[in-house]
Structure 1
Amino acid sequence: MADPTRTPVIVGVGDLRSGRAGDTAGPREPLDLITDAARAAVADSGSAALGAEIDTIRAVKTVSWTYDDLPGLLAARLALPAPRSSTSPIGGHWPAALLDRIGGDIAAGRSSAALLVGGETQATMTSLRKSGTDPTSLDWSRAPGGPPAFDPADLGSPAMQRAGLIVPTRVYPLFENRLAHESGLSPDESLAESARMYSAFSELAAENPASWTSEVYTAEEIATVGPGNRMVCEPYPLTLNAMPFVDQAAAVLVCSLAVAREHGVPDDRIVYVWGGAGATDSVDVLSRNGFGTSNALTDAVGRALSRASIDASALDVVDAYSCFPVVPKLLARTLGLPAHAVPSVTGGHSFFGGPLNSYTLHSIAEVTRRLREGAGPALIHGNGGYLTYQHVVLLASTPHPGGYVGDPEPAQLASEAPEIVTGYQGRAEIVTSTVEYGRGGAPATGLVVATTPDGRRLAGQTGPEEAAALSAFTRTPARSAIGCSVHVEDRDGVLSLRF
């Protein structure tokens, strides 16, 4: 049996919301919610004294308010004497990656108890901006701390910016549409698959006390574009997009099995961190090998399962990151899940809520509860960037024979993508495309990635007239534009298309 002083286990979780969709609460800064979640995680362990054992605090970066040292501020509130601390960069994969790192620290003897935290109050920030209220007038932390900062590099590479591929709502549909094409699905069939999955997600979210929404949606309601469910970027209407305007926080308390037993944590409250794996694809999506798969996801899942010596069929619980449907679809296909599977226990970003980088912390909390109720091994997935950063972690209610078997350092994957060409004029084949709509409901921008006859890759955006034509082509009759031959003229990233 593995050394209990080197065996990482989850002993406490806490997650919460402040207010709810359509029922906002008084303004609270993220640190307040995170503090409440951390205290709830310690209380969940059943031992207040165990909290004093915390020697490490790892925080997932908060975006809605800037903290130079959130772990330090939290440690002061919890009266913890100078724990080791760190704050992640931006990325939704970090909760899984940090849990894996904590597991590795405990297995290596570098830590005996650690707190993993994260939270956002984007709903509050939006409300304060609309009312013209300065959060500093509400005594929000400024020493250190302050309003959120913006880094233009977060928009993407220069090639992506030239092509207009600068926000997730534009980029993820490109992956979705290519995946449907490679899966042999028509646009309508692919949308129906997304809607069925997200309807099931809404049912899970409605039962979760920490969820931002409580309404259950049918697949038909999700798939139907209309008032309250406008088209954002084909094929995703609003209900298939993440909802980041939430006030939510979560915390996870991890310690060695020895510490858990010293503090009397019952065996049926202990969840074992087997470990996980991560992988990173090219940051520039235009330098990827393809758009219908995620090499990083495939690599991370494969290495995590291999290190644990289990097959995907042994998993009883799967929770996928779900900012857009293509992400859980890719995970489900990678794991070989049946078509009716629902790869979530939390309820997804659209309905549970998408607190930016920290969503997967809520997944860890909910999966921990499932495992305490008797569920079998679980896989939790985190996704960052544009399918760029992938990390999965395995949890179970029983110890792994090898103790901690994770590999927390991500693999850096190489790409062999086609050469990018600019200023091109001539024939090309569409690799993937989408159309972004304005708030008035009309096509506003087309986004296209294509291949020239000599194998080079081009990408760009169109004006409203071309966007309308591209959208109309896919509807009359219903079909995909992917694989179609077009005549392209690229004028500094602005494309004209002729089918």
Structure 2
Amino acid sequence: MDDARIPVLIGAGEVVDRPAEPRLALEPAALMAEALRRAATDAGAPDLLAALDSLDIVNSVSWPYADLPAALAARLGQAPRRLVYGPVGGESPVRFLHEAALRIARGESEVSAVVGGEATHAVAQARKAGIALPWTEPDPNWRRTRGRDYLHPLAVRLGVADPVTVYPFYENAVEAHLGQSPAEGQAESAALWSAFSGVAARNPAAWLKREYSPAEIGTPSASNRPIAYPYTKLQVANPMVNQGGALLLTSLARARAAGVPEERMVFLWGGAAAVEPRDYLNRDHYHEAHAQNAVLDGCARIAEAEGAGFSICELYSCFPCVPKMAARRLGLPSGMAPTTTGGLTFFGAPLNNYMTHAAAAMLRALRARPGEAALLYGQGEFVTKHHAVVLARRPARAALAESYSVQAEADSRRGAVPAFTEAAEGPATVETFTVLYDREGAPEHGVTILRLADGRRGLARVPTAEAIALLTRPDQTPIGRPGLATLAADGVPEWRPA
């Protein structure tokens, strides 16, 4: 293979910014610029940043820029000929890394980078204190895309249109499908998250550098309030961070010419991507994601063809169900912490940019363990968008494959999707569920996804304390429980157990 067409990841830079007061904090564009400089320094080739010809910017949410690419270019003092601002999605850094490698393999780019940054913590502090931040002039017309913009109106009305309230549908369905009691499933989640926190505690770029015990994570308390059953605060992604991350790629030939030490280079063997239907109510079930399975299977085939397995993994960790499903699909050993970063609760969740930091941690892990292969798996929206890549310290035997979609494979596995009705009435069983809590930890109402007697799917509120107690029993899942759906006075379906 031509060394000028072999892409290599050569550097990663990270910034964690915790000033004494918010006016001293770096804005997202400044975090990004500093992360890029650190990535070039990490590669041992700081001059390569001046040769940057392709830059992908991960979608940033914490500050309303009118033109973020221009703001970043101004701070860098240069504008690469390809400067692209990406869409929302937690998987997007993995996709940008993969596509940057493909551009190098095609000869379209010589030096590429992926960068992102968020300063949500500083923005929240400033808002709370009534302080104006001395940052780039905000765009008054900026608007963030949210799930409520494209999910079913009834889901929005019932409060299940944000990740923290939707992922519990999967969490509870996975437990029931595995035959676990709720207590068993929650104990597994708490132990897994405790292991993630231990990794974050040893990561210098992490936001929370403390190891938490399973009991601290799984037990509701004043500092660990329940948010959406079965999740407590210490089981959900933490976006209140100021963090920036960047990755630097080039060709093997250019890296050698720039004097990048061979032991600092990591090669991309390939990857896979697929999506689920965007509205989660249009999926066949909730105990697995066909797109996730197809992506992980595709990456496992890549590793197998190279005679390798995944002893190093970063499985996306916005909520416990994601790495739990993925680890089982991959057949990872029980007790393995599938992260080199620390997870979105403890390392921090700079919104769409966590996987840039995960790639940085993976680069360090592979430099320390040169004989192994690694899986970097990201996810976006509501178990919707999936992208993973396989990385190693040696080149693959074959050239990087141009096509990476496994969408046809995912779609072929999908079963019939039940028709959805807004006005669910009559006998109905619980397909999956959650309970939403207020900021004091008191239950507000439950929400069930139902299956009606004729096979249709519905969505219903669970208003009574007795029914909510049934949903949250530690010894027995309510999934499959029969009941009755009726329309309340406000036109919203309500479910009560039979």
In the superposition, the TM-score normalised over structure 1's length comes to 0.93
Q: Paired residue for 1:124? A: 122
Give the SS at the match of 2:418.
coil
Contiguous gaps of at least 5 residues in structure 1: none
Matches within 5 A, 1:195-234: 195-234=190-229
Runs of 4+ in structure 1 over 6 Å off: 22-25
CA separation in 2, counterparts of 1:188 and 1:232?
17
Residue type of the partner of 1:18? D
Q: Select the residue among 132, 142, 150 that pairs with 2:144.
A: 150
CA separation in 1, counterparts of 2:278 and 2:192?
28
Residue type of the partner of 1:444? E
Question: Any conservation in 2 of the 1:162–1:460 contact (CA below 8 Å)?
Answer: no
Question: Any conservation in 2 of the 1:9–1:256 contact (CA below 8 Å)?
Answer: yes
Task: Quickly say closer, same or farther: Cα 1:116–1:490, change in 2 above 3 A.
Answer: same
Give the SS at the match of 1:174.
helix
Residue type of the partner of 1:4? D
Q: Select the residue among 373, 394, 401 that pairs with 1:398.
A: 394
CA separation in 1, counterparts of 2:191 and 2:330?
19
Question: Any conservation in 2 of the 1:474–1:481 contact (CA below 8 Å)?
Answer: yes
Residue type of the partner of 1:438? D
Residue type of the partner of 2:118? E
CA separation in 2, counterparts of 1:335 and 1:311?
16
- Residue 322 (str. 1) matches residue 317 (str. 2): yes
Q: Paired residue for 1:341? A: 336
- Residue 482 (str. 1) matches residue 479 (str. 2): yes
Give the SS at the match of 1:382.
strand
Task: Quickly say closer, same or farther: Cα 1:228–1:271, change in 2 above 3 A.
Answer: same
CA separation in 1, counterparts of 2:345 and 2:135?
31
CA separation in 2, counterparts of 1:439 and 1:201?
25
Matches within 5 A, 1:129-144: 129-135=127-133, 138-142=134-138
Q: Paired residue for 2:10? A: 11
Q: CA deviation at 1:366?
A: 0.4
Q: Compare 149-158 and 283-292 and name the one that shifted more.
A: 149-158
Task: Quickly say closer, same or farther: Cα 1:337–1:147, change in 2 above 3 A.
Answer: farther
Task: Quickly say closer, same or farther: Cα 1:30–1:220, change in 2 above 3 A.
Answer: same
- Residue 384 (str. 1) matches residue 384 (str. 2): no
Q: Paired residue for 2:93? A: 95
Q: Select the residue among 402, 407, 420 that pairs with 2:403.
A: 407
Q: Provide Cα deviations, 1:293-333, integer angstroms capped at 9, x if missing partner.
A: 01111111222333454489711210011110001111101
Task: Quickly say closer, same or farther: Cα 1:476–1:6, change in 2 above 3 A.
Answer: closer
Give the SS at the match of 1:489.
strand
Matches within 5 A, 1:48-447: 48-135=46-133, 138-142=134-138, 149-151=143-145, 154-159=148-153, 160-307=155-302, 309-310=304-305, 314-375=309-370, 376-405=372-401, 407-408=403-404, 411=407, 414=411, 416-447=416-447
CA separation in 2, counterparts of 1:93 and 1:411?
15
In the superposition, the TM-score normalised over structure 2's length comes to 0.93
Q: Provide Cα deviations, 1:348-391, integer angstroms capped at 9, x if missing partner.
A: 11111011000010000000001111241110111101000000
Question: Any conservation in 2 of the 1:96–1:393 contact (CA below 8 Å)?
Answer: yes
Name the Cα RMSD after superposition: 2.2
Give the SS at the match of 1:407.
coil
Determine what percentage of the aligned residue pairs are the same residue. 34
Q: Compare 297-306 and 404-413 and name the one that shifted more.
A: 404-413
- Residue 461 (str. 1) matches residue 461 (str. 2): yes
Question: Any conservation in 1 of the 2:225–2:439 contact (CA below 8 Å)?
Answer: yes
Question: Any conservation in 2 of the 1:19–1:25 contact (CA below 8 Å)?
Answer: no
Q: Provide Cα deviations, 1:42-97, integer angstroms capped at 9, x if missing partner.
A: 11111122222210010100000133443333233223354211111111000001
Q: Paired residue for 1:448? A: 448
Question: Any conservation in 2 of the 1:72–1:85 contact (CA below 8 Å)?
Answer: no
Give the SS at the match of 1:316.
strand
Question: Any conservation in 1 of the 2:451–2:457 contact (CA below 8 Å)?
Answer: yes
CA separation in 1, counterparts of 2:473 and 2:97?
49
CA separation in 2, counterparts of 1:210 and 1:90?
23
Task: Quickly say closer, same or farther: Cα 1:495–1:156, change in 2 above 3 A.
Answer: farther
- Residue 34 (str. 1) matches residue 32 (str. 2): yes
Give the SS at the match of 2:300.
helix
Give the SS at the match of 1:278.
strand
Q: CA deviation at 1:426?
A: 1.4
CA separation in 2, counterparts of 1:252 and 1:89?
18
Q: Provide Cα deviations, 1:19-40, integer angstroms capped at 9, x if missing partner.
A: 18x9978332111111111100
CA separation in 1, counterparts of 2:454 and 2:136?
57
Task: Quickly say closer, same or farther: Cα 1:151–1:453, change in 2 above 3 A.
Answer: same
CA separation in 2, counterparts of 1:363 and 1:152?
24
Question: Any conservation in 1 of the 2:22–2:123 contact (CA below 8 Å)?
Answer: no
Q: Provide Cα deviations, 1:404-435, integer angstroms capped at 9, x if missing partner.
A: 23635573755531011232321111110111
Aligned residues: 490
CA separation in 2, counterparts of 1:389 and 1:477?
31
CA separation in 2, counterparts of 1:312 and 1:479?
43
